[in-house]
């Protein structure tokens, strides 16, 4: 007859057996996850150039540590013959299953936040060509608007069609304003038998209804909505309308021989960029009367100058940011870094700060912030490896959302004052992003003419591995 083992020894043997099973379960879980990350998620054959999935190195170490701990505990359990107890095995298996949950949480912490596709719109026909741009509706509802040559479509917070505004029969949408003050966006349309474009339309972006329409011959470039004005340039003048009613406020003729390039409207000023006999000049017009207040000859490099903001007045020429006072005198210049006027990512103006992707010795892109009050370079944010900046946006909390792409696509949220990330970046998994897109919260709007891409889609936190 076997002598029963002391209670303390039986408990100790049961604890060893349970711990051995728990560490074995975690070791097997981590080994499987390591294989998954290596075989499925790794973009290169080896972990170089950013191709190694985030957290893989630490996960391998924890898998080895759990395996070694399990081996030691199994040796102790076998030596003490704790495995002979049926009750001990029942408890050990239960503990092992429970241990998988904190083990999974540890893996989730090591790999950091991930998001993948949540919902999307079915891809559209490419017959209408490349999309022209997008607007954000009410941030609380996630409403977004996307424009193509064949019309403008609003999508509600669930990604479904909210409203549609088709182009006129035989015509097309030519251009759209960047901003939508008072929930009003501007479209330039062409009608049958005319050039692009000859009609200016103000749209209520909440309902898709036209507020007013003006037939204006020889429209030039994109219209601009700012303050209480709708402003557009023609072949011979800059014309301002009341944004809500469409009543003409003023008309300012272009200087003799001038050719309009771009207009931008603000609450107290309208800026016009035009080619003249002096080169490319920036003209400032009073927003109330259209009277010329000052003009400035822009520096010109291999890229055309562009207007950054009407209020405050700022423009980029020859890679330099110029910020002007009320008399048209430059307040300051950004000597470095170089500010390009062309590139994959659009600028972002949020408050009195310009955020722009800038090159670093032609090796990678950096995100730089510049004050629109005095032109100072505020900060520069570098990203890992050779990642390029794909999109910029201001989120609901005032932070700067940045999408970068390298071996993986990441979504960052940066402090607008310092450029420091607010936590770890989010890996965007398996998203079919085109060359051009806009980001509104968790909604992506495709701006490519690739018919294989959905017009809009949403992302959500990844569930599972």
DSSP 161-174: EEEEEEPPTT-EEE
Per-residue model confidence as pLDDT tens digits over 246-303? 999 999 999 888 999 999 999 999 999 999 999 999 999 999 999 999 999 999 888 8
Question: 122: burial class by Cβ within 10 Å (0-12, 13-18, 19+)?
Answer: exposed
Calpha distance 211→187 (Å, rounded): 11
Per-residue model confidence as pLDDT tens digits over 115-174? 998 888 877 776 667 789 999 987 777 789 999 988 999 988 666 778 899 988 888 899
Please enumerate in sequence order all residues whose Cβ is within 8 A of that of 352, keeping only pairs 6 or more positions apart, or say none: 312, 371, 372, 373
Size of the chain, expressed as the number of residues it contains: 465
Beta strands in 30-150 (DSSP E): 114-120, 133-136, 144-148
Please enumerate in sequence order all residues whose Cβ is within 8 A of that of 2, keeping only pairs 6 or more positions apart, or say none: none
Question: Distance between the two ends of the chain, CA-based, in angstroms?
Answer: 52
Share of the chain above pLDDT 70, in %: 89
Residue (of 434, 426, 411) closest to 146 by Cα position = 434
Calpha distance 197→403 (Å, rounded): 33
Per-residue model confidence as pLDDT tens digits over 157-200? 666 778 899 988 888 899 999 999 999 999 999 887 677 788 99
Residue 44: per-residue pLDDT = 64
Above 70 in pLDDT, residue 448? yes
Calpha distance 430→464 (Å, rounded): 14
Q: For residue 272, what are the β-bridge partners?
A: 263, 283
């Amino acid at each position: 007859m076997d002598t029963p083992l002391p209670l303390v020894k039986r408990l100790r043997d049961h604890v060893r057996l349970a711990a051995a099973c728990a560490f074995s379960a975690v070791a097997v879980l981590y080994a499987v996850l390591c294989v998954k990350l290596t075989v499925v998620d790794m973009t290169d054959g080896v972990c170089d150039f950013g191709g190694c999935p985030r957290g893989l190195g630490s996960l391998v170490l924890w898998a080895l540590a759990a395996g070694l701990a399990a081996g030691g505990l199994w040796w102790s359990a076998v030596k003490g013959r704790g495995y002979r107890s049926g009750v001990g095995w029942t408890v050990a298996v239960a503990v092992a299953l429970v241990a998988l949950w904190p083990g999974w949480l540890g893996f989730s912490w090591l790999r950091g936040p991930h998001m993948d596709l949540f919902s999307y719109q079915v891809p559209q026909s490419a017959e209408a060509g490349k999309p022209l741009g997008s607007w954000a509706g009410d941030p609380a509802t996630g409403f977004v608007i996307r424009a193509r040559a064949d019309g403008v479509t609003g999508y509600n917070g669930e990604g479904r069609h909210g409203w549609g505004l088709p182009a006129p029969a035989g015509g097309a949408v030519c251009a759209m304003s960047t901003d939508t003050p008072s929930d009003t966006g501007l479209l330039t349309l062409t009608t049958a038998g005319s050039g692009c474009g000859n009609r200016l339309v103000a749209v209520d972006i909440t309902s898709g209804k036209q507020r007013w329409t003006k037939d204006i011959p020889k429209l030039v470039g994109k219209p601009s909505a700012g303050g209480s004005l709708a402003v557009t340039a023609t072949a011979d003048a800059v014309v301002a309308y009341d944004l809500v009613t469409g009543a003409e406020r003023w008309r300012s003729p272009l200087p003799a021989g001038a050719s309009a390039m771009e207009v931008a409207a603000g609450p107290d000023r309208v800026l016009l960029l035009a080619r003249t006999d002096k080169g490319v000049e920036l003209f400032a017009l009073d927003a109330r009367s259209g009277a010329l207040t000052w003009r400035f000859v822009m520096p010109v490099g291999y890229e055309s100058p562009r207007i950054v903001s009407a209020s405050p007045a700022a423009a980029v020429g020859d890679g330099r940011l110029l910020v002007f006072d009320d008399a048209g005198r430059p307040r300051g210049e950004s000597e470095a870094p170089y500010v390009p006027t062309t590139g994959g990512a659009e600028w972002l103006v949020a408050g009195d700060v310009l955020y722009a992707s800038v090159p670093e010795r032609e090796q990678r892109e950096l995100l730089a912030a510049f004050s629109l009050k005095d032109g100072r370079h505020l900060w520069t944010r570098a990203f890992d490896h050779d990642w390029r900046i794909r999109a910029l946006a201001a989120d609901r909390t005032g932070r700067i959302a940045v999408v970068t792409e390298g071996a993986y696509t990441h979504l960052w949220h940066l402090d607008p004052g310092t450029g420091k990330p607010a936590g770890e970046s989010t890996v965007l998994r398996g998203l079919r992003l085109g060359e051009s897109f806009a980001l509104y919260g968790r909604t992506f709007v495709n701006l490519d003419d690739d018919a294989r891409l959905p017009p809009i889609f949403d992302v959500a936190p990844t569930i599972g591995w």
